[in-house]
Every structure is written in structure tokens, then in C-alpha cells.
Structure 1
Amino acid sequence: MMKCAKNDQDRQSSVLRMVWSALVVGGTVAASPALAGGASENLLLIVDPTNPDAMYIANHYRTVRGVPDRNILYLRPEAASYADFVDGNQPAVLGTLTNRVIDDHIDYILVGASDSFYISATGYISDGCAAVRRFALPSNYMLSFMSDEVLGGLSSTHRNEYFGNNGDALAFSSAQGWYNGIPDGSSSARRYFLGTQLGYLGELGNTVDEVINMIDYSAAADGTFPDGTFYFMETTDPLRSGPRDNQFDAVVQAIIDLGGKAEHLCCSVLPGGRHDILGCMTGAAGPNIDGTDMTIQPGAFCDHLTSYAGNFSTASQTKMSRWIANGASGSHGEVEEPCNYSGKFPHARMHLYYFKGLTLGESVFRSLRYVPFQGLVLGDPLTRPFAHIPAVTVDDAPIGPVSGDITLTPEATTTHPSALIAAFDLYIDGVKWETVPPNDVFHLDTTRFGDGFHAMRVVASDDSDQKTPGAWDGTIEINNVGRSASLEITPTTGDLATAFQCTLDGTAGDVIEARVLHNGRVVATTTGLGQQATMYGLSTGAGTVALRTEILYADGMQVTSDVVTLTIDNVAGTPVATDPIAYGYSTSILVDSPLVLELPAAFDDAADPLTYTIIDQPIQAVLQPAAATDPYRVLVPNGDAVGSDSLTFQATSSSGQSQVVSVNISYDQWQFGKLHLDVTPLFAGQDGTFTVTSGYPNEKTYLAYSLKGEGRTYVRQLNATLDLRKPSQAGDVQYTDADGFVEWVLHIPNIKTPKLAWFQAAQRSATSNVAFAQIN
């Protein structure tokens, strides 16, 4: 361990909610607190589709944690360099979040189990002690909102603005700017993702079974308030223990004052003979984690401050993976020589934040004084053993098919001694649909969804600093036009080489295609109903695998079946030398940003990776460079793309080639979401007309105004930045029609004139021009 030297954006609203002030025009809308904290609807899981073990672990994590399908992205997580990451992975992830309409609530980016643990990043970060040449793999995603600053050059001691300067355990939000440890709307504030990694599977890392076990005991620990002790070990190694020793006593006392147990032990590396370890913080190069008589409790976070705990390129020093192998839910280590800056390692307050109810991911990031360029966090970031998790019910949830408008009545309770339930969020198929306060109901217009089965989640959040969420999960079956879909698969068990025959059927009509979906991506298709498609265990990866049929009709409706579950063993099986089968499909692009397009192909031999060849390039977009074995491409649409487009591809193995198939792309939605607001001349005491065109069709639309002029106010509920200063709502929320049109006729109060006003319309992730008007 090298000793370090001693010298160690856009304007957003300062609260995570929509706030409209009641000023002159129209009415008001109740303010709703943002739901932050740690739950799987706030997490994006990135899965390497070229690694069967990574896919197996991802399937298990999805099952255990209830990760929504739309929150799983199949993308090779690493890149050749940081510059390549910024040009490739970063826009692909951000654009896919936007296209999936989940960018308003993703706080965590969890890199799945991987054979990689860093990305080369030479020349960006200055350090007076040792050159910075690597970024920890998940840290690249954490930096997504500040990549321009990184490319321009920063210090290795660049401050993490979420770092807590005191014991306040504040829930994290990626949509919120942070400055000096608190939410802030100034230009000095910074946004982040919580970037962590589920596991490292390479040499000196963890085995597949160790990662699977970690997932199980981490989730099981949530909300259990386990009995045990946090151990803070002061060792005789001044370079590795010294940077944190002076933090221990205050944190030990703070935990004890809250009713917990903590000890500051001197002159030992590990708490040998202790079998109640809720956390361990030590400093040593080679702690004998495997050979010490001790028991780490489920949910524990443990780390040892040293140079190479997270550097799996060298056998020197004990690796952080040993903590995971011995029962910890998370650990932290450096991927190269960091020097012993205390700010590069978790502060002792990490365990205080954890004990107060933050998630593991929140607690670690809040305890890092410096941006963790080199700091790798392994484990399950959602682990929260000390959280008072609300119990949520929806007693009037439908148990049969529904149509038209329905209401849902959420209720929740919490065991938190001083917190109340603050708000409820409704998610349909992973998209946040509505937020209501306690004692209110959700109003759901089911005609806005296709017939069939849809995942429904209600999340309650309390009003504590931790904003702890709890969830109720269910399924809603919609039947407005009498359509249905079904999926039958035989067999229902197998291994990676097993051929699964999928029969896709449904209501007759003008069908474009039927497809089998796994975790939101297409894995097989047919051109009609009652037809079969073949997939193999390799298509989905092993584990408990949830699949459904989706039928695309010519009128645009997508009808989904109920879930069919397979059990697939993570063994290669006995492959048969057959040609691969490629599947074409259709997709619609919602916004003009990059996104990941899967290239579905079925094959049975894990030892013979397929290669994917693009035969015909899209005309109105470009494809980012990709490895030949990547079963996807990142599509970058032209800014003026319109109408239809396509690409064709072919899959090849050593035994043969697939047919050439087409991915048909529609940009038709692009005519929408580019709102234009027109305002008629306004006169006091008379009606004025406000017209919006080119909005998203059938979408909630808000009209805002300001008497203060233009500015910038971020509205998390809409994931949009209004170009108004201190905006207020004008009139009621309205829905656009099928052409994206909506109009308000509002009475202008009889006020003193002339009066200046600024107006703007907004939908989710979209805003109009600002219309200036003088009221005469």
C-alpha cells in the first residue's frame, strides 16, 4: 500500500417531486414526494448475453428480487477503453432507458456477474501518488452524468457529492442533484447512478454457486433486523488501518446509541471467535478470511483496506471475493494501486447508514468521500437488513379480466416508530404510471394497454430520511376488444442444449407476428398463430425462466399471454450439430436516441459461440461496432429518421448458417413527443385558448406557466426539465387524442394589466416550446 500525500448542470428543482405553486391561472395539483430508496423497480440489471453463467445468475437474481422485465438489459458490460465506453455503452444504456420509459426512476445500475472487473482509463484522472489507469467496471456507469468532466480531466480526489458529512442516512435518487451530501438544485450539484457489480467470475473471483448463495441470503436478510455486532478492527498496519482508525469510536457509539451493537477491537486483523458479524471493517493486505474461525451474518458488508483487494489481475493480497465466499452480501476493493487516501475507501459511517436502514448500495456510496473511479463494489446493492419495509396491500385488485376504467385502492403499514406512509406509486409492466398520496386511489384507463396479462406493482414509500419502499406485486388481465394470447412449451425442464418447442397462439386477426419474450427481449418468433418456434436452453440461460407470448396486430395492439415458467439446469447437456435458427421481428423506436436491438438466434452448443453478421444495414440509422459474437447491435438513429427501416442478419456456427432474417424498425412515433404550444391573445376577464400539437398520443399532458420568466426546473414525475422559473399548473391534466392534440380553454382572471406570463406544455420526458404572452 503506497502512502498518499496529505492533501488529500442543469438546474433542477431542489425537491424530488412535482411542485406547482398556485398563482393566477387555473388550479393546483397536489405535490407528491418522490419514491427513492432501494427496490428492484429502481434497478437496471446489465447482463452479458455471451456468458451462460452470467445469464443463469441474472435469471436467479430476477426471480429472487422481482426485477421487472423491462429493467433487464442484455449488453456486454465492458469496453476496450473509457473513451469507447462513453461512445458506446453509455449512450446505449441511457437511450435504452429512455426508449423503455423507465429513465425517470432508475437509481441503480447493477452490472451482472462478469468475467471483467475494470475498463482501461489512462490519462483522465490525475494523482500525485500513483497513476490512474483503470476504472472499476460499474463505476463507468456511475459516471454517466459526468463523463464530459471525466474526459476533460479530474483529480483522483474529486468529491463525491452524495458523500455524507454526518450521520444523516438520506435516500439516494439519480434524478436529484447532490451537493455536499444533500439534495441541491445549483449548478454545483452532480447526478450519479449507484454503480455496483453482482459478482466477478474470473480467476480469483467467486464461483457461480457462491454468487447464487449470496443473492439468496442477501434477499432473505431484508427487513429482519438481525442480531449481531459491527466490528471495527484496528490493526498494527498503519498504512492500511491508519486511514480509518480515527473514525471508529464515534461510529461505534452512534450505533450503540441507536440500540445496536458495535465494537472497536485493537490489534487484531479479523474478529476471530466471533460468530455474529454484521459488518467488519479492517485494514490489512492478507487477512485470512477463509481460515479464521468466525461467522459472517447474512446481509453483512465487510472490507479490508489494501491496494489490490479488487485487482484480480494479480494474486498479491487477499481478494474481496473471499468476503462474499464466506457469507458477506457486499464488499469493496480497489482495482489498482489507489494509495491510502482515506476518501477512496468506505468511511466507518457506512455501517451507521446501513444500520439506519439504507440499502447496501446507498450506504457504501454515501460513505465514499471521493468519486470511486477505482473502487469496485461487489454484491447485492439492494440488501437492506435494517429497513422498516412497508407492508402493502391492494384489496380491490381485480381477480379476473377487466375493461374500461378501474380504480385500485392501495394501503400500507410500517413498523417504523416515527415514519408514516408518504405516497404510493403504480407501475404497469415496469413503467411508473401514477403517484397518489395516502387515502387516495389509482385511476387506471385499461384501454391504454393491449389486451392480455400485464405485471402490476404498487410501491409504498415512507416519509423517513430513508424513504423506505415496500411493494405489492400482482397481475392484471385486460380484455377490452376480446383478444388473447397463449404460450405452450414442451418440455418444461431441461439443460442448455435442450430444444424447447414453443407453440404461440391467440385470437385470430390481422397478425403481423407472434414472439416469445424472455426478460423483455425477443428470443423466438412466428409469422402467424398456432405455429411453433424452437429455442434452446442457451437462448435464455439456465435457472427459473419466465416466458410469455406477445402478438403484434396490424392495428398496433400488442397482446400478451400469461407467464410460462421453465426450469433449466446450468449444464451444457448434449448438443446436436444442427444449423442455428435466426428470428426476425418488428420493433418501434420511441425517441431519437441510441438503443440496444437484440439479434435472436437459437443454437444448442455453449462451446461453439455463434457469430452474427449484418447483411443489410439500416438506411436511417447506423450500427455501432460490435464483436461478431455479440447477439445484439446498438442502433443509433439519424435525427431525421421517419417511417420504416430495417436491418438483416445471419447467425453462423461451425456446423452451419441460419437463414437471413429482418429486424423491421418503425420510427413512426417520432412525429409525436415534439410538442408545440400555441396561445391565443390573452385578455383579463376573458377566456384564452392553449393548443398543443405533436404530443405523444393518448398521454397525460400538463400546462404550466410562470409569472417569473424562463428558468430551469426539473420535474421528476415527468422526467422533464421545464424551461420556466417557479412554474405553476394551469388548468387540469388532460389527455392528448390519437393525433397528439389537446386544447385548454381557460378563464383569465380579471387582474391588473398588462401582465407578462410564460407558458409551456409537458408530457413524460417531453416538453413544448415556451410561449410568451402579455395579458391585456
Structure 2
Amino acid sequence: MRFAHALIFLSVLLAGSASHAAPALQPAQLGLVVNDDEPNSVELGEYYRTAHGIPEANIVHVRIPNRPRKLTAEQFAKLKADIDSKLGADVQAVLMVWTAPYAVECNGITAALALGFDPDQCVKTCAAGKPSAYFNGSMAPAQAQPGMRLAMLLPTESVEAGKALVDRGKSSGFRVPAAGAYYLVTSENARNSRAQFFPASGAVPQRKLAIHTLREEAIEGKRDIMIYQTGKARVDKLETLGFLPGALADHLTSFGGDLLGEGQMSSLRWLEAGATASYGTVSEPCNFWQKFPNPSVLLRHYLGGATAIEAYWRSVAWPAQGVFIGDPLAAPYRR
């Protein structure tokens, strides 16, 4: 869906389509997976459980020694079976409390956990992906696809930074601030493939949100950021920015989901700068917009009251190569 100007965007947003969506994810519907072989995972898992009131029955303990960045399909199959066997049918989403592993061969681990490992994507990573039945939908995950649970990672590189992230996710529900959504068309033309879905600059007064669609390489000094989406291999001036609790931010580039890689900018940089959730791909996706968060879909669902994990998952049409990171329960616009 393409928005030609602000009035079309507003009419779609405020027509009430989001009001027909399944109720936003609740803490009792979230499973928490802790790696007992990683002390940071154990400490942050307990912090998250307490902060968000996750039921004890929803806590799953696993052992993944040596923090590998990538799992084989066989290793992942055992991990997924272990997680699935310990969660009840009412659990609609899973938060894995670790940074690594974040890939299953060429798949993002969050996509593989939610949809199952897709070996066909690894034959040619630049080929089209399998469509997600959850994309831009209104149903609960298991209604969209039997057995589906949304998935996200809570990074654990720093306990202090992890706790600050959890605090931002929790405080995002306390009030709706005046905020800005920033969409940048940059000089890196190949990474502008989703610019066609950027909403036009304007205002959403019912949500106290100002939309800024700009031809810029980066923004600087902005302190009201709720959404920031761009196409760059590396995004500059993040240290000058102020992200509001619940902010979503991501960049279209090939290896943002290679969280601990040393090539293109890792999606972890967004969380370190103050965002509450982000997304990136773990293997070369080429620049299909369908493999990245669709800006208009993401904004519509988030402003409609969805949690960060629901809005992000609904915005990616072909998610096999992607990894979602952050606090899944952040929901600044929850009704």
C-alpha cells in the first residue's frame, strides 16, 4: 500500500482498521527463554520477568554453551523442540534473552522460531522469500499460521544497557508523548527501495505525532524520536539523538542483523542509542523491500496500539532472513 500524501495516510490510519486487530499482546502471553550458560542472560531474564510481570510458568531455561553466532539446522531443531515443549498454548510470543545465537544458517533465529527454519532461502539468499501470513494482518499469530509464535531477542552484551532497555519498554506505556517519525531518503540509492512507502510529511494530531520525510543522509540533534527509518550501511550522528520510550528504529542494509559482525552497522547500535526495538537481516537479502519493515504498515499498526513485536512482525512481508531485537512489550499507543 502506497501513501501518496498525508491526507490518504491519515484517512487509512484513522478509519479504524487497527481497531479490528486482535488485542495487543499481554505479559501473560509472552514466553521468556533464558540461557543458563550465560550469566547476563540469567540476570536480565529475571529483571525482565519482574519488570513486566511475566508468569513463572512462562519461563524456559535452556543451555547454549559458548554463545555461537549461528546455529546449524540440526542444533536449532533441538532448541526449538525444547522451547515449544515447555510453553503452553496461550503463549503467543517468545523473547530469547541473549544476543547470540542470532542466526540459523541463513535464517534469522527469530524468524526460524516463529515460522520454522526455511532451507530454501539458503539456496539463494537473494531470491524472493516466503510470504508471511501475519504480514499487515489483524489476527493472532496462531490464527495466521498454526503453531506460529512471534519471536524477538533481548540483547545481553551489557547488563546495564539491557536493564535500561527494559525500563524504556515498560515506561513506554505510561503516557503518549508528543513525538516525531523520521523517514530519510539518502544518497545510497539501492537502499532506498522502501522509500515508496514513506508517509508524506504531516501530522497525526490524534497521536500527537509529526511525520518528517526528508532527503537527508542523517538527522542530528532531534530529541523527540518515536520512529526512525532510513537506508544506509552506517547511520551517522546517533550519539546526538534522543529516542522516546518505545521508539522503533532500523536501517535497510544487508547485514544489520549480523549483530556482532564488523562489517555494516549492527542493529544493536540503534538500541545503544536509545531505541527500544529494531530489526536487521543476517544474510545477504538484496534490497527487496519485502524483507524489511514496511514503513507505512509499521506506523499504522504501532499507532493503532500494537506492541513493538506485533507491529514489527506485521510490517515484514518476507521475514526469513530477519532478526527482531528489543523489548517486545513496548506499546506507547496501546489503548
**TM-score bucket of the superposed structures, by smaller chain:** 0.7 to 0.9
Are the aligned partners of 2:220 and 2:238 in contact in 1 as well (CA < 8 Å)? no
Q: CA deviation at 1:383?
A: 0.5
Residue in structure 1 matching 2:294, options 343, 347, 362 = 347
Q: 1:82 to 1:249 in 2, by over 3 A?
A: same
Match of 1:702 in 2: none
User: CA–CA distance in 2 between the matches of 1:139 and 1:212?
Assistant: 24
Q: 1:386 to 1:259 in 2, by over 3 A?
A: closer
Structure 1 letter corresponding to 2:93: Y
Residue in structure 1 matching 2:198, options 245, 248, 256 = 248
User: CA–CA distance in 2 between the matches of 1:269 and 1:352?
Assistant: 25
Q: CA deviation at 1:114?
A: 3.5
Match of 1:216 in 2: 167
User: CA–CA distance in 1 between the matches of 2:142 and 2:163?
Assistant: 31
User: CA–CA distance in 1 between the matches of 2:275 and 2:213?
Assistant: 20
Report Cα offsets for 1:461-520 as digits up to 9, x if no partner.
xxxxxxxxxxxxxxxxxxxxxxxxxxxxxxxxxxxxxxxxxxxxxxxxxxxxxxxxxxxx
Structure 2 counterparts to residues 103-118 of structure 1, below 5 A = 103=89, 105-118=90-103
Q: CA deviation at 1:339?
A: 0.8
Report Cα offsets for 1:225-255 as digits up to 9, x if no partner.
12111111111211112x11111135x55x6
User: CA–CA distance in 2 between the matches of 1:323 and 1:229?
Assistant: 16
Q: CA deviation at 1:76?
A: 3.1
Match of 2:311 in 1: 363
Match of 1:58 in 2: 45
Match of 1:74 in 2: 61
Structure 2 letter corresponding to 1:81: T
Residue in structure 1 matching 2:129, options 151, 157, 173 = 157
User: CA–CA distance in 2 between the matches of 1:231 and 1:117?
Assistant: 27
Which protein has the larger Cα radius of gyration, Structure 1 or Structure 2?
1
User: CA–CA distance in 2 between the matches of 1:214 and 1:74?
Assistant: 22
Report Cα offsets for 1:336-384 as digits up to 9, x if no partner.
22110100000012022111110000000111111x1211111001110
Task: Give the structure with the larger helix fraction.
Answer: 2
Match of 2:177 in 1: 226
SS at the partner of 2:63? coil
Q: CA deviation at 1:66?
A: 0.4
Q: CA deviation at 1:143?
A: 1.7
- Unpaired runs of 5+ in structure 1? 1-33, 121-133, 179-188, 202-206, 389-776
Report Cα offsets for 1:541-562 as digits up to 9, x if no partner.
xxxxxxxxxxxxxxxxxxxxxx
User: CA–CA distance in 2 between the matches of 1:152 and 1:302?
Assistant: 29
Report whether the alignment pairs 1:136 with 2:105. Answer: no
- Unpaired runs of 5+ in structure 2? 1-20
User: CA–CA distance in 2 between the matches of 1:55 and 1:157?
Assistant: 34
Report Cα offsets for 1:520-553 as digits up to 9, x if no partner.
xxxxxxxxxxxxxxxxxxxxxxxxxxxxxxxxxx
SS at the partner of 1:354? helix
Structure 1 residue runs of 4+, over 4 Å off? 151-156
Q: How high is the TM-score relative to the length of structure 2?
A: 0.84
Structure 2 counterparts to residues 509-658 of structure 1, below 5 A = none
CA RMSD of aligned residues (A): 2.4
Q: 1:289 to 1:317 in 2, by over 3 A?
A: farther
Match of 1:705 in 2: none
Aligned length: 307
SS at the partner of 2:199? helix
Are the aligned partners of 2:40 and 2:156 in contact in 1 as well (CA < 8 Å)? no
Are the aligned partners of 1:111 and 1:197 in contact in 2 as well (CA < 8 Å)? yes
Q: CA deviation at 1:314?
A: 3.0
Report Cα offsets for 1:74-101 as digits up to 9, x if no partner.
0136784113322x1222222222xxxx
Structure 1 letter corresponding to 2:55: P
Percent of paired sites with the same residue: 25
Are the aligned partners of 1:161 and 1:190 in contact in 2 as well (CA < 8 Å)? no
Q: 1:190 to 1:153 in 2, by over 3 A?
A: farther
Structure 1 letter corresponding to 2:154: L
Q: CA deviation at 1:60?
A: 0.4
User: CA–CA distance in 1 between the matches of 2:181 and 2:224?
Assistant: 8
Report whether the alignment pairs 1:91 with 2:81. Answer: yes
Are the aligned partners of 1:248 and 1:264 in contact in 2 as well (CA < 8 Å)? no
Structure 2 letter corresponding to 1:194: L
Are the aligned partners of 2:177 and 2:208 in contact in 1 as well (CA < 8 Å)? no
Are the aligned partners of 2:25 and 2:329 in contact in 1 as well (CA < 8 Å)? yes
Match of 1:192 in 2: 148
Report Cα offsets for 1:251-309 as digits up to 9, x if no partner.
x55x6274442333322133212211111011111112444x22111110001111121
User: CA–CA distance in 1 between the matches of 2:329 and 2:28?
Assistant: 11
Are the aligned partners of 1:234 and 1:264 in contact in 2 as well (CA < 8 Å)? no
Match of 1:335 in 2: 282
Are the aligned partners of 2:220 and 2:237 in contact in 1 as well (CA < 8 Å)? no
Structure 2 counterparts to residues 278-297 of structure 1, below 5 A = 278-291=226-239, 293-297=240-244
Are the aligned partners of 2:246 and 2:276 in contact in 1 as well (CA < 8 Å)? yes
Q: 1:379 to 1:312 in 2, by over 3 A?
A: closer
Report whether the alignment pairs 1:271 with 2:219. Answer: yes
SS at the partner of 2:213? strand
Q: Which has the higher contact order (CA 8 A, sep 6+)?
A: 2
User: CA–CA distance in 1 between the matches of 2:194 and 2:120?
Assistant: 31
Q: How high is the TM-score relative to the length of structure 1?
A: 0.38
Structure 2 counterparts to residues 407-418 of structure 1, below 5 A = none
Q: 1:361 to 1:173 in 2, by over 3 A?
A: same
User: CA–CA distance in 1 between the matches of 2:259 and 2:177?
Assistant: 32
Match of 1:44 in 2: 31
Report Cα offsets for 1:205-225 as digits up to 9, x if no partner.
xx2211110001110111511
Q: 1:158 to 1:63 in 2, by over 3 A?
A: same
Q: 1:356 to 1:75 in 2, by over 3 A?
A: same
Residue in structure 1 matching 2:251, options 299, 304, 309 = 304
User: CA–CA distance in 1 between the matches of 2:301 and 2:212?
Assistant: 17
User: CA–CA distance in 2 between the matches of 1:55 and 1:259?
Assistant: 37
User: CA–CA distance in 1 between the matches of 2:258 and 2:301?
Assistant: 27
Q: 1:313 to 1:342 in 2, by over 3 A?
A: same
Are the aligned partners of 2:188 and 2:231 in contact in 1 as well (CA < 8 Å)? yes
Q: 1:35 to 1:386 in 2, by over 3 A?
A: closer
SS at the partner of 1:249? coil
Are the aligned partners of 1:278 and 1:300 in contact in 2 as well (CA < 8 Å)? yes
